Amino acid sequence: MKTQFLKEKDYNKLKSVLQSYDQDQQIKSILLFLADGSGFGKQQLDQILSGIKKPLIGGIFPELIADSRRQTSGALVVGASFNLKTQTIHLDDNTYSFIADQNDLFRSDSHNGHTIFVFLDAFAQRKCKIIDALFNRFGPVVKYLGGGAGSLSFEKKPCVFTNLGVEENAAVIGMADTTISLGVAHGWEPVSLPMKVSSATGNLITSLDWQPAFDVYKKVVEQHSGQILTPGNFFGLAKSYPLGVIRFEAEMVVRDPISSDGNSLNIIDQVSEGEFIQVLHGNLQMLLSGARKAREQAEKGFQKNAASAFPFCFDCISRVLFMTDDFDKEINIAGSGKNINGVLTIGEIANSGHAALEIYNKTIVVSLFDPQQ
């Protein structure tokens, strides 16, 4: 793996680095991650990306991690020696059938031991469909790794790309002929009893246990925090009280409430009607323990000496908002004393082969790559 971080927004420099990777015989594919704060434009990026011959996949994310530091701007270029087959999928009504019907999609005698990278528009309405479709198409014999791209401004804009250019309301996927080791954890703990999602549509939960969702959530948060929760201060207080979707024999899936109209809860990612959830809470030490757990899981599954691995992290931007200046501690834990690179996402995508594929929130995913690839 070969990496280079460009701190400033410089189209000529980015083009030069990508071209040098394109000409490097040891590099077979390229991963490119851009920070939203850099303000890279679609037209210029399309021109640069179209000139690269080697398969390329990536996205524009809220922030990056480069050389074990949080970066609010810049570009992270990763050159890999594994082969990569890429595909852009527009997230419309035909998403599910498109994947299910493509028998030649990423044709291979066997996908066992492969890794699928998934970068998608975090604000696309049908993004959960591609997760379901991918898992039904390829199953648990591959590893999945990726996250939601976009801006913390919540403004929809083109944010994922391949060599063909930058797209919005889309997902880009890449099948890599390499295996990785993953660890997924969060550190949040329940502070309520399980509750049934009795009414929900997409990202909106309207009732819990057949009562207005905001009223139920408000009661739990106020009893635990000792503060009054209103639609006006919702975001500031709710960031410490996410929801956990119960998954038996697997890590609870965290969902991020971001706003309320006084009746319903608006969530970053979908919660289905009929599921059971709990209100969660955490502090700095609990979340850092979650990061440590993710790193240990990844090390345990790595086939070689973990000290020789190339670590890469997909971490939720909301963990940064919660930890603020202490987020450096999480980066150090994820890197286990080594330099680590990564992406700060709006939703994390991962599956280690032991559970269904999920989109997580407020979660950290630590991946270890063979450094020869």
- Which pLDDT score is estimated for 163? 95
Residues 38, 165 within the same domain = yes
- How far is the C-alpha of 300 from the C-alpha of 85, rounded, in Å? 28
Residues 294 and 275 in one domain: no
Q: What is the pLDDT of residue 136?
A: 83
Name residues whose C-beta falls within 8 Å of residue 181's C-beta, 6 or more positions apart in sequence. 298, 299, 300, 301, 302, 303, 309, 352, 367, 368
Q: Do 161 and 212 fall into the same domain?
A: no
State how far the Cα of 368 lies from the Cα of 312, in Å rounded to an integer: 6
pLDDT at 42: 94
What integer pLDDT is reported at residue 128 of this predicted model?
83
Residue type, 325: D
Q: What domain range includes position 198?
A: 189-281
In this prediction, residue 104 carries a pLDDT of 52
* CATH number of domain containing 239: 2.40.10
- Whole-model pTM? 0.90
In terms of domains, do 9 and 139 share one? yes
Q: Are 20 and 152 part of one and the same domain?
A: yes
Looking at residue 65, what is its pLDDT? 97
Examine the domain organization and report whether 180 and 193 are in the same domain: no
> Which pLDDT does position 108 carry in this prediction?
53
Q: Which two tokens stand for residue 370?
A: 């063979």
Residue-level pLDDT at 116: 92
Structure token pair of residue 250? 């697997």
Q: Are 179 and 113 in contact (CB under 8 A)?
A: yes
For the chain, 373 residues long, the average pLDDT of each consecutive 10-residue run is 92 95 95 95 95 96 95 96 90 60 53 85 86 84 92 92 94 90 92 95 93 96 95 90 85 88 89 94 94 92 75 94 93 90 95 75 91 67
Residues 270 and 331 in one domain: no
| Nearest alpha-carbon partner for 302 in 372, 251, 349, 367 | 367
pLDDT of amino acid 130: 86
Same domain, 257 and 177: no
Question: Which of 237, 263, 281 is the last residue before a domain boundary?
Answer: 281
Out of 241, 262, 281, pick the residue that ends a domain: 281
Closest by CA to 58, choosing from 156, 146, 190, is: 146
Q: Do residues 356 and 339 share a domain? A: yes
Looking at the fold, whether 317 and 212 belong to one and the same domain comes out as no
pLDDT at 260: 92
d(CA 127, CA 155): 16
Same domain, 85 and 46: yes
Residue-level pLDDT at 62:
97
Domain boundary among 260, 281, 302: 281
- The two most distant CA atoms of the chain are separated, in Å, by 61
Task: Provide the pLDDT for residue 11.
Answer: 94
- Tokens standing for 82? 């594994």
Number of folded domains that form the chain:
2
Q: Based on the fold, state whether residues 125 and 196 are members of the same structural domain.
A: no
- Estimate the crossing angle of helix 327-335 against helix 284-301, to 10 degrees: 20
